[in-house]
Structure 1
Amino acid sequence: EPGCDKLSSVAVIGAGAAGLCAARHIQSRLNIFAPPVVFELTENVGGTWCYDERVGMYDNGHPIHSSMYRNLRTNLPKEVMMFPDFPFESQLSSFLPHQEVQRYLERYCESHNIRPHIRFNTVVETVKPVVVTMEDEETRTTRTTWEVTSSDSSGCQKTETFDSVFVCSGHYSDPNVPDIPGIENFKGKVLHSHSYRYAEPFSGQSVVVLGAKASGLDISIELAKVGAQVTLSHSRPPLTVPLLPGIRQSSPVVAVDKSGCIRFQDGSVSSADTLMFCTGYNFRYPFLDSAQLSLEIQDHVVSPLYRFLMPPAFPSLFFIGICKMIAPSPTSTIQFALAVLDGSVTLPPRVQMEEEVHREQQEKIERGVEQRHLMLMEQEQWEYCHTLAGIAGFPPLPPTIRSLYEEVEPFRRRSLRTFCSLGQQQGAPLSPVRK
């Protein structure tokens, strides 16, 4: 237990931004915590920011993790994306190509001496809670430890015990592909943006892009620039900003007919060479048994998670950076999690935590929030981070972070084309994974 002679041991799953930040903060508390053990699937740090030209599978048979494409740039300024105690280099422009974010994370890793604690090319196979009950004449207490089974590149399997686990494996790697009736009739190429790397192979083609959020817009613009004819199919209100020549909007795809043509909700029909899903990603944790953890892990919601962080039944398991549409630095959630572990924050009883999560979800649903959007933060993120900081006693995010974050979206809405040409010069189109 923290506070006893034995240092608390922490397993960190993933060496992307969240995993590196977790390792850095654990290492700053070596009077309480043992040095972290960081498990990383690939041979590099950076997580989704580590560009990989390959698609499909790694040599070990596991799916390629990164969804990065060659020309992706951030859609948030570096001042919002940085860890507060580790700024980006001052000479860099505010909006960055993905290579600069990757270099930043590598520099962060070296600066805080995290690399010696990372096990590269190591797959986490299972994470299991082990509940030990201890009784004496007057009291009965339980303590949970975690058995983490991993395998390295040689196939050697190892099981170790930790006091807590930080899940930092991201949620932009398992493609969400909606069910399109008759999709088997489509005669062209079908892919998800997870497997998109660059536009040139689509030159001269007709491409139907499903989804008009960040990646759908960004990829449509790239495709149009190489001469593709793009149909941007989505269920949102029609975009009012001028799009590039070669991009037209349409209603949602509802089916593919027997001839292979695509049918849209408005009754129109179109043929296409490529059908590209820019339809987001699922939560997927193959190393966890959700039933054992009293969790429901769906494509778009993991519940119940107290403070969007921990299952009430097992509050030494932490999901870091799980919320969507949020300034990406995971500092607040990590510092709160460590405050829970070191005893600075006392959690309510399990039943009370579960009731609070349920109440918050019901309030959202009554406001009209769809079930699949329950983990989208947007404007709620500022109060969320402020609350965590207040409870755990660490500095809140600087107000300038909110100001910068909120200034970007109106600018993008005013002129998508200006925003994207700015991105070509300085690094700023609509990348899919920053918010």
Structure 2
Amino acid sequence: MTAPGKLRVAVIGAGAAGLCAARHLAAHPESFAPPVVFEASGRIGGTWVYTEETGQGPDGLPICSSMYRDLRTNLPKEVMAFPDFPFDPSLPSFLHHSHVLAYLERYADHFGVREHIRFSWLVDAVSPAEGAEGGWDVTACRAQDRTVQTTERFDAVLVCTGHYADPFVPPIPGLETFPGQLLHSHEYRCPEPFAGRTVVLLGAGPSGVDLTLQLAPLARRVILSHRQPPLPGLPGNVLQAAPVVGVAGPTVQFEDGAEHRADVLILCTGYRYRFPFLAPARLGLRLTDHTVTPLYQHLLLPRHPGLFFIGLCQQICPFPHFHCQLLFCLAVLAGTCRLPPAAELQAAAEGELRQHLGAPQHFHRLGGRQWGYCQELARLGGFEPLPPVLRKIYEATGASRSQDVSRYRSLSYRVLSAEEWELVGAEPGGAVHKGGSPRGAGGNGDGAPSPAAALG
């Protein structure tokens, strides 16, 4: 039984966001009962768990991880850590994915999170409970035996399922006629199978650029199709091409009229938001491939404030971002942060969405807006904001990446204080910065595999 006055909260997913949620819920036993974390797989880590398998796993569930063998983060560890749990300082700034997974495992052990996780339990349905008491009914089943099912009531639900599991495939005319190998970056694992072949990659987000760098040493030719200005520092056998407008058999057609034959097409075209356990119409939730609305602060439904979506935003420092979102959500649940009436929340959510009508697919891409966003969450939630040094290193990394996409990961950063940092070693452009941001800085990473060094 839950003690009177204590809220019972369900967490869906034991990736980075879910672990952070469980850690903070468990740290406040005066307000919350022990959390219940539903994890469909048999281990923690979410998208940071590497497997060579693609498609379906042995349990019949889709492979959710988009991790590939040689992934390294495109944000340094100095801005990736949860604020209350640093990475091992002996590690390089730009980490192999195995180091990030090990970090999450240490985080879970340090804060005693594992005891709250129900492994191999798949959430089937989340719905508002009937009756005056409110709450949420969560129905889950055993991943290996779906006849074993349970429905439990919770006061709130934190959705921490990530958004790198459902690949987005753009509607390209003639794509179905391509006779070669067609895959999404979600299914890419290593470059060796593509040796000696002509590979066309669609999209120059973090995954498109990263896969280009991995494939170039082995492929006969790599064609990177995108609409950005030319990227500096790519290998000599990489051709940067205009956006793809069509496919006719083995021939790929580009916006500028060029045509190239290809053996392989890799779609580095991002992911769709997907919540199969929700009934969007009943909740007043509008889902498209690229947006989840209307949500106050990208987090909660105005008319159902007990349901929270953690980690929808992109182009962020993910773990610090999750930390801020979760502390805000817990302040709302504990009553220390008083929300305005539902009508005001709805108006605020709709108003923010209207600002992005010209490019709604970018609504959740915060980029430089993430700092004001996290600061506002800290103000509303009454917790300590992120230190300014995170923004400075994030922007410095973006500047280095824009100068040379192939070499910026050789840099090492050191945090000196909440405001100051230094670059250990030479930057691609030769300059060393200390304390401030290099001019022209800009970041577009996510730390995580997309768009962080892998999946965008």
User: Counterpart in 2 of 1:157?
Assistant: 149
Q: Contact between 2:206 and 2:452, CA under 8 Å: does it hold in 1?
A: no
Partner residue, 2:361? 372
**Per-residue deviation, 1:238:** 2.7
Name the counterpart of 2:403. Answer: 414
Is 1:251 matched with 2:214? no
2:318–2:448 CA contact under 8 A, matched in 1: no
C-alpha contact (below 8 Å) 1:217/1:430 kept by paired residues: no
Give the equivalent residue in structure 2 for 1:204. 196
Report the counterpart of residue 83 of structure 2 in structure 1.
Answer: 84
Letter in 1 for 2:61: H
1:93 paired with 2:92, answer yes
Q: Is the 8 A contact 1:218 1:430 kept in 2?
A: no
The 8 Å contact of residues 8 and 34 in structure 1, kept in 2 or not, is answered as yes
Check the 8 A contact 2:129/2:153 in 1, yes or no. no
How much does 1:289 deviate?
0.7
Q: Which runs of 5+ in 1 are unaligned?
A: 134-142
Partner of residue 140, structure 1: none
Q: Counterparts of 1:210-289 in structure 2 under 5 Å?
A: 210-239=202-231, 241-257=232-248, 259-289=249-279
The correspondence for 2:336, drawn from 340, 344, 347, is 344
Deviations 1:44-87 (A, max 9, x none): 10010011110001233221010000000111111111011111
Checking the alignment, whether the CA contact within 8 Å between 1:172 and 1:433 is kept in structure 2 is no
Task: Select the residue among 164, 174, 182 that pairs with 2:166.
Answer: 174
Alpha-carbon distance, 1:253 to partner: 1.1
Match of 1:42 in 2: 41
The percent of aligned pairs where both chains have the same amino acid is 47
Within 5 A, what are the aligned runs for 1:261-410? 261-329=251-319, 330-365=322-357, 369-410=358-399
Q: Tell me if the contact between 2:18 and 2:160 (Cα under 8 Å) persists in the aligned partners.
A: yes
Alpha-carbon distance between aligned partners in 2 of 1:230 and 1:370, rounded to the nearest angstrom:
29
TM-score when normalising by structure 2:
0.88
Cα deviation 1:258-300 (Å, max 9, x = unaligned): x432111111111111100001111111111111111101111
Note the C-alpha offset of 1:422: 6.0
Q: C-alpha deviations, 1:300-324, integer Å up to 9, x for none? A: 1100000110011100101011111
Whole-Å Cα distance in 2 between the matches of residues 248 and 269 of structure 1? 12
The answer to whether the 8 A contact 1:214-1:430 is kept is no
8 Å CA contact 1:336–1:388 kept in 2: the answer is yes
The CA deviation string for residues 99-130 of structure 1, in whole angstroms up to 9 with x for no partner, is 00000000001111111111111111111111
What does the per-residue CA deviation read over 1:327-369, in whole Å, with 9 as the maximum and x for residues that have no partner? 112110000000000111111111111111111222344xxx5
Gaps of 5+ in 2: 413-424, 426-444
SS at match of 2:305: coil
Provide the alpha-carbon RMSD of the alignment: 1.9
**What is the Cα deviation at residue 131 of structure 1?**
4.0
The amino acid that maps onto 2:151 is T
In structure 2, the CA distance between the partners of 1:114 and 1:121, relative to structure 1 (3 Å rule), is same
Name the residue aligned to 1:67: 66
* Range that drifts further, 35-44 or 228-237: 228-237
Change (3 A) 1:411 1:179: same
Whether the aligned pair in 2 keeps the contact of 1:128 and 1:289 (CA below 8 Å) is yes
Measure the CA separation in 2 of the matches of 1:228 and 1:50: 31
Supply the distance in 2 between the matched residues of 1:390 and 1:174 (Cα, whole angstroms).
Answer: 34
Whether the 8 Å contact between 1:313 and 1:350 is mirrored in structure 2 is yes
Contact 1:51 1:70 in 2 (8 A): yes
Instruction: Write out per-residue CA displacement over residues 192-247 of structure 1, whole angstroms, 9 at most, x where no aligned residue.
Output: 000000000000000110001100000011000223411101122332x1310211
Corresponding pairs, count: 416
SS at match of 1:125: strand
CA distance in 2, matches of 1:114, 1:433: 27
The alignment status of 1:434 with 2:452, answered yes or no, reads: yes
Supply the AA of the counterpart residue of 2:41.
Answer: T
What letter matches 2:346 in structure 1? E
The Cα of 1:431 is off from its aligned counterpart by 5.1
* Alpha-carbon distance in structure 1 between the residues aligned to 2:393 and 2:174: 44
Matched, 1:127 2:97: no
Given that residues 67 and 172 in structure 1 are in contact (C-alpha distance below 8 angstroms), is that contact kept between their aligned partners in structure 2? yes
Partner SS state of residue 24, structure 1: helix
Report SS of the residue matched to 1:300: coil
Which residues in structure 2 correspond to 1:137-152 (within 5 Å)?
143-152=133-142
Aligned-partner SS, 1:282? coil
Asked whether the 8 Å contact 1:168–1:319 carries over to 2, the reply is yes
Distance in structure 1 (CA, Å) of the matches to 2:126 and 2:44: 21
Letter in 2 for 1:327: C
Query: In structure 1, what residue type is equivalent to 2:379?
Result: G
